[in-house]
């Protein structure tokens, strides 16, 4: 069994506690980029070898892992991700050769997207017996990558020159980078928005305070909202089923609020969202003016203080003692998170914990109120910048690439945050925010 585990987990990558499939996919990407700069032909041959080797391992040894774990598709098996990712890169290299770095990054982002969404016929192929089912859906995802890449290249949509900047200063490679930053940082209490603005300030040709960049940042937030629906899909379905069941009981509104947890949670979320909307409407100009470097540094210092303080507070209040006033204060904290260097998740979760709410409910409530806040903000910005979108001033392909990357990275980061927040391990993030503030202030020195 040791040999089967050693091969199927790809030297132990499959045993990682978070997103083992993603790390398995990184193996071909890293090898392709490392070897491609030395010899393109060698990199192609290595990708072909990984496709064959990963496929052979899955067919030969995955059945033993299925028997040992009792699961049809054990999370520990990542040889299928290696084979599928290598097939995607191999197809890109053979069908439509391009810059090594760009094609590898695109191949990784698109493959992870299709591996998660599983378009036709991936779901059907999963039903094949034993190791074939584990392998076939990833190979199909790899073929989907090849199809999209080839189609985009034929239409002239994928600019593969590493230094080329597209309309409004947004190159595809740059948006992929910002998408990764957004997705990873959105659910960690260090402000993804602040990181985006900080990077935009130091990238030539990018105006971080332009309305187009505000809209682009919000588009990336849509990708992370999608990751919430994916990670919490079962909880969301369970919540709405319980809500419908509670409403059908025909109790009076006050009894529903007191006795039914879904109704109480919905009311509290509405209060928090209403406060967020009200604060934004009253102080919109002030909140959106904080994209300068000094404002970034100042609010990072404030965030560090709240995060450090939250580590010393033990939450004991459950949902039944969760008061509307507390929901209003959390909504206020969420409104302040419109400032770039104030983390939405960090401000809402730390505020809830400081109010004495149990970490479990602090986390779940934070995610619940994030959906209307992010979607509402995005729709508002889209309406405000409708002419820019209609006139094609914002490049569609780079924005979609950034959103897809933010979605994939968001799924990974979300699982990490759940563990961190429930254990109230915020001190490290407080010091990180303080470090960012120091770097920002130093950059302002003449």
Q: What pLDDT shows up at residue 257?
A: 72
Question: Looking at residue 171, what is its pLDDT?
Answer: 63
Cis, bond preceding 121 (omega within 30 deg of 0)? yes
Per-residue pLDDT of 233-281, as tens digits, reads 887 888 788 778 777 777 777 777 777 777 888 888 899 999 998 988 8
Identify the band that residue 330 occupies on the pLDDT scale cut at 50, 70 and 90: very high
The length of the chain in residues reads 446
The answer to whether 142 and 106 are in contact (CB under 8 A) is no
Last residue of a domain, one of 154, 187, 212: 154
Single out the residue in 125, 154, 183 at which a domain terminates: 154
DSSP state of 355: T
Q: Examine residue 388 and state whether it is found in any structural domain, yes or no.
A: yes
**Are 254 and 330 within one domain?**
yes
Is pTM beyond 0.85? Reply is no
Residue 86 placed within a domain: yes
Q: Per mean pLDDT, which range of 225-229, 256-260, 367-371 is the poorest?
A: 256-260
Which residues are 357's β-sheet partners?
A: 317
pLDDT tens figures, 24-74:
888 898 888 888 877 888 888 898 999 988 888 888 888 888 888 777 777
| Tens digit of each residue's pLDDT (9 = 90 or more) over 130-183 | 778 888 889 888 888 888 877 766 655 554 443 333 444 556 666 777 777 777
28 and 107 fall within a common domain:
yes
- Domain presence at residue 193: yes
User: And the tokens for 145?
Assistant: 């990558």
Q: Are residues 196 and 328 in the same domain?
A: yes
Give the pLDDT score at 162. 37
- Give residue 328's pLDDT: 92
- Number of domains present in the structure of the chain: 2
Is the residue at 271 inside a domain? yes
Task: Say what the pLDDT of residue 394 is.
Answer: 59
Last residue in a domain, options 123, 154, 185: 154
Q: Do 175 and 148 share a domain, yes or no?
A: no
Q: Rounded to the nearest 5°, which phi and psi values hold at 316? A: -125, -5
Please state, in angstroms and rounded to a whole number, the distance separating the CA atoms of residues 408 and 9. 21
Half-sphere exposure of 409 (CA within 13 A, CB side): 26
Q: Which of 65, 29, 72 is nearest to 50 (CA)?
A: 29
Confidence at residue 274, expressed as pLDDT on a 0 to 100 scale: 92
54 and 173 in a single domain? The answer is: no
Looking up tokens 């590898």, which residue turns up? Answer: 104
Residues 79 and 206 occupy one common structural domain: no
Q: Which has more pLDDT, 311 or 157? A: 311
> Does 160 reside within a domain?
no
Domain range for residue 66? 2-154
Is residue 101 located within the same domain as residue 233?
no
Q: For the residues 203-219, what does the mean pLDDT come to?
A: 62
Kindly report the number of other CB atoms within 10 A of residue 287's CB atom: 17
What is the sign, positive or negative, of the torsion defined by CA atoms of 33, 34, 37, 42?
negative
Region 406-418: mean pLDDT is 79
Same domain membership, residue 361 and residue 222: yes
């Amino acid at each position: 069994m040791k040999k089967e585990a050693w091969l199927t987990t790809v030297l132990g990558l499959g045993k990682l506690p978070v997103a083992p499939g993603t790390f398995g996919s990184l193996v071909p990407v890293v090898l392709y980029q490392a070897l491609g700069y030395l010899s393109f032909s060698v990199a192609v041959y290595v990708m072909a070898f990984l496709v064959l080797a990963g496929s052979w391992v899955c067919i030969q040894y995955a059945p033993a892992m299925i028997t040992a774990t009792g699961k049809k598709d054990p999370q520990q098996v990542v040889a299928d991700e290696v084979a599928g990712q290598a097939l995607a890169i191999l197809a890109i290299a053979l069908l439509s050769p391009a810059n090594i770095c760009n094609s590898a990054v695109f191949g990784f982002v698109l493959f992870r997207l299709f591996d998660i969404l599983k378009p036709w016929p991936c779901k059907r192929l999963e039903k094949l017996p034993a190791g074939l089912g584990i392998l076939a859906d990833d190979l199909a995802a790899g073929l989907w990558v090849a199809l999209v890449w080839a189609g985009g290249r034929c239409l002239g949509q994928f600019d593969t020159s590493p230094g080329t900047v597209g309309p409004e200063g947004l190159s595809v490679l740059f948006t992929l980078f910002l998408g990764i930053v957004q997705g990873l940082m959105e659910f960690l209490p260090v402000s993804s928005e602040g990181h985006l603005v900080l990077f935009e300030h130091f990238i030539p040709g990018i105006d971080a305070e332009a309305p187009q960049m505000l809209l682009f940042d919000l588009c990336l937030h849509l990708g992370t909202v999608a990751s919430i629906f994916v990670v919490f899909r079962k909880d969301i379905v369970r919540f709405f089923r319980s809500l419908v069941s509670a409403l059908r009981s025909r109790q009076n509104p006050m009894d529903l609020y007191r006795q039914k947890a879904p109704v109480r949670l919905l009311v509290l979320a509405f209060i928090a969202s209403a406060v967020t909307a009200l604060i934004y409407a009253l102080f919109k100009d002030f909140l959106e003016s904080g994209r300068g470097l000094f404002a970034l540094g100042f609010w990072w210092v404030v965030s560090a203080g709240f995060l450090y303080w939250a580590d010393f507070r033990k939450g004991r209040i459950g949902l039944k003692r969760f008061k509307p006033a507390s929901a209003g204060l959390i909504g206020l904290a969420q409104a302040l998170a419109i400032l770039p260097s104030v983390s939405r998740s960090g401000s809402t979760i730390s505020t809830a914990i400081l109010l004495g709410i149990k970490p479990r409910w602090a986390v779940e409530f934070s995610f619940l109120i994030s959906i209307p806040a992010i979607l509402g903000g995005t729709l508002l910005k889209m309406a405000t910048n409708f002419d820019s979108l209609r006139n094609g001033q914002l490049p569609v392909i780079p924005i979609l690439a950034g959103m897809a990357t933010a979605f994939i990275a968001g799924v990974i980061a979300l699982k990490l945050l759940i563990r961190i927040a429930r254990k109230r391990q915020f001190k490290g993030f407080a010091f990180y925010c303080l470090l960012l503030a120091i770097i920002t202030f130093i950059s302002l020195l003449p």
